[in-house]
Amino acid sequence: MALIRSSSPHLHNAGSTPKIMRLLLIAALPGIAAMTFFFGWGTLIQIGWAMLLALGFEAAVMKLRRRPVAFYLRDSSALVTALLLGLALPPFSPWWLTLVGVFVAIVIAKHLYGGLGNNPFNPAMVAYALLLVSFPVDMTRWTAPFVLHADDGWQVLGLIDTFKVIFGALDHSAIDAFTSATPLDELRHRGGLTTEEAFRESRVLADGVGAWHAVAAAYFMGGVFLLYRKVFTWHTPLAMLGSLAAISTLFYLFAPDNFADPFFHLTMGATMLGAFFIATDPVTAATSNRGKLYYGAGIGVLVYVIRTWGSYPDAVAFAVLLMNLAAPFIDQYTQPRTYGHAKPKRGLKEDA
């Protein structure tokens, strides 16, 4: 007998926690494919390495906490964290960077706070932010999309060489041809140029930007799939993308020479990954639907503010962490009204 009520096409059962996590992994496949196509084998190696580490750390912590290891490994939440970190790290980042990142994510950000469901901050983003602050050089050396160094055909650093680079057998200076700054970085360090000039002068901005567009589109596809499968509701992604689009449109209309256009903001950096895979992490987000709108909108605005006036090129990790911090507060003020009660309970008033 089919598990799906045949008369209604949109009535899928989102199912258990392990199933939700597996759906997330599946939904990231287009993004992984796009990253690999444009930036080479590094992404795949990072994800695999991060997943191995995550499973190891998760098992070790569960052992220490005297919990059933197999049961908790089956929920795949560690794999999702590893996946997000693997996607966010530069494809050629060295093995120890990933190791530190996964350790921080799984052991410190997740389990020291009580494990799945109790962590106030998104583990992958804690790790990313920590790495970015501690190892800025390694974290900003991004891979050049293949479209920049080949006029014809698909040419990326070979699989074996990529392994060698990541695990230290090949020096980074040997592969300088394969690295470049990201578009967000280029635009931030454009010197005295206007945005229009920067788009003409910089190779990444002029020719390479399409790679990022395609990756964003792939994440977007995965996000729509997750929405369709009701893994999360539309509120957070729509609010985040909406507020980012709104604020960037406002500044772009006001001064197009100084500010990037809204499409650029929506498709560059981790915007789409963040909107559909990071901000939607239920554990660290606001819970009610109205709360999710505020939460998502907050992330969108913060992303723009930090990208434009902050000292880091991308801002999704910081924006998500800051809104993680605000989520319990948002929850206090956005709980729905209990049926039959005249007023919703708001804030921290102790009236009971």
Partner 1 sequence: MSTPYPTQSLDSSQYFDTFGDLLGRPWRGGLRLRDHKHLSSGNAIRPFPSGATALAIPLEQGRSRARPCVEPGQRVLKGEVIGVGDERNLWVHASSSGIVKAIAPVTVADRDAPVQAVHIATDGRDEWIARPTPGQPRTLAELADFSMRMGLAGLGGAGFPTGVKLAGAGLTDFLLINGAECEPFITCDDALMRERADMIVRAADFLADLLGAGRTLIGVEGNKPEAVRAVKQSITRAGSRLKVRRLPERYPAGGQPMLIRALCGRRLAPGQLPAAIGVQVLNVASLHALGRAVFAGEPLINRILTLTGSCAHPGNIEAPIGLAVRDLARFAGAETTDIHVGGPMMGRALDDARAVIGKTTGCLIYGARDWLPQPEPAGDCIRCNRCVDVCPMALQPMSLYAAVQDGQHRALKTLNLDACIECGACSLSCPARLPLRDSFRQGKRDLQS
Question: Can you give the binding site for partner 1, defined by CB under 8 A?
Answer: 1, 3-5, 8, 10-17, 19-20, 71, 75, 77, 115-118, 230, 232-235, 282-283, 285, 287-290, 293, 335-341, 345, 351-352
Residue 1 or 137: the one with the smaller Cβ distance to partner 1 is: 1
Question: CB 204 → partner 1: shortest distance, Å?
Answer: 38
d(CA 188, CA 275): 22
- Nearest approach in angstroms of CB 116 to partner 1 is 5
Minimal distance in Å, beta carbon 109 to partner 1?
15
CB 283 within 8 A of CB 123: no
Alpha-carbon distance of 315 to 212, in angstroms, equals: 16
Which CB atom, from 247 or from 293, has the smaller least distance to partner 1?
A: 293
Cα distance between residue 162 and residue 164, in whole Å: 5
Q: Which is nearer to partner 1, 20 or 32 (CB)?
A: 20
Strand partners, 142: 180
Q: How far is the CB of 5 from partner 1 (least distance, A)?
A: 5
Question: Residues 294, 342: contact at Cβ < 8 Å?
Answer: no
For partner 1, give the closer residue by CB, 141 or 229: 229
H/E stretch holding 179: strand 179-180
Per-residue burial over 105-115, b if 16 or more Cβ lie within 10 Å, else e, is bbbbbbbebeb
Cβ proximity to partner 1, 203 vs 230, nearer residue:
230
What is the closest distance, in whole angstroms, from the C-beta atom of residue 294 to partner 1 in the complex?
A: 12
Measured from the CB atom, the residue of 157 and 285 that comes closer to partner 1 is: 285
Closer residue to partner 1, CB minimum distance, 94 or 282: 282
Compute the least distance from the CB of residue 14 to partner 1, in Å: 7
Query: By CB neighbour count within 10 A (0-12 exposed, 13-18 middle, 19+ buried), where does 213 fall?
Result: middle
Compare residues 12 and 190 and give the one whose CB is closer to partner 1: 12
Largest CA distance in the chain: 71
**Cβ distance to partner 1 smaller for residue 194 or 338:** 338
**φ, ψ at 336 (rounded to 5°):** -65, 160
Q: How far is the CB of 11 from partner 1 (least distance, A)?
A: 4
User: Which distant-in-sequence residues (6+ apart) come within 8 Å of 16 by Cβ?
Assistant: none
Shortest spacing between CB 347 and partner 1, in angstroms: 12
How far are the Cα atoms of 44, 73, 155, 303, 311 from residue 51, in angstroms, in the given order? 11, 11, 27, 27, 30
CA 246 – CA 300 distance, rounded (Å): 9
The answer to whether 232 touches 283, Cβ cutoff 8 Å, is no
HSE of 293, CA atoms in CB hemisphere, 13 A? 5
Q: How far is the CB of 87 from partner 1 (least distance, A)?
A: 21
Counting Cα atoms < 13 Å in the Cβ hemisphere of 223 gives 24
- Which among 221, 317, 307 is positioned nearest to 278, based on CA atoms? 317
